[in-house]
Amino acid sequence: MHELSIAMGIVRIAENESAKVNAQKVEKIELEIGTLSGIEIDALNFVWSSAVKGTVLQDALKKIITINGEAKCKDCKHLFELNQMYDACPVCNGYLKTIVKGKEMLVKSMELSY
């Protein structure tokens, strides 16, 4: 379950950024997670309370924004929604594509208290 290491990485980011501005704790954290990132949101939610216990994130409100997968076909240049990494282009059935979005894992914002 790599979601625990992801949660611990988010804690590390929050603690480093909070320390830079002498904040006491994080009130709210917003995460952007792509559907193609390989991160199981249910598993992340499951380990979250253990990962943030005793940290600046312990009482923070966590908001997850899901970013849907999107790709551009290299053959016909069609931009399309991508649900699975190996989906074909719906226009030409080509498999060569550039993933435009959906692989993100980003700490988008944090609200801090001093």
Is residue 85 in a domain?
no
Is residue 73 in a domain? no
Check: CB of residue 110 under 8 Å from CB of residue 11: no
Q: What is the pTM of this model?
A: 0.86
Domain annotation covers residue 39: yes
pLDDT in tens, the chain (114 residues): 589 999 999 999 999 999 999 999 999 999 999 999 999 999 999 999 999 999 999 999 999 999 999 999 999 999 999 999 999 999 999 999 999 999 999 999 999 998
Nearest 5°: the CA angle 91, 97, 101 is: 105
| Residue 57 is assigned to a structural domain of this protein | yes
pLDDT reported for residue 53: 97
39, 44, 73, 105: which is closest to 82 by C-alpha?
73
Burial class (CB in 10 A: 0-12, 13-18, 19+), 15: middle
Distance, CA of 61 to CA of 52 (rounded, Å):
11
Q: Which domain holds residue 105?
A: 3-68+101-113
Give a yes or no: residue 30 inside a domain: yes
- CA–CA distance from 97 to each of 70, 75, 86, 88 (Å)? 10, 8, 10, 8
**Which DSSP category does 12 fall into?**
H
CATH assignment at residue 36: 3.30.2320.50
* CA–CA dist 32, 103 (Å, integer): 10
Q: Which residues contact 109 (CB under 8 A, 6 or more apart)?
A: 28, 29, 30
Instruction: Please tell me the total count of domains within the chain.
Output: 1
Residue 1's pLDDT is what? 55
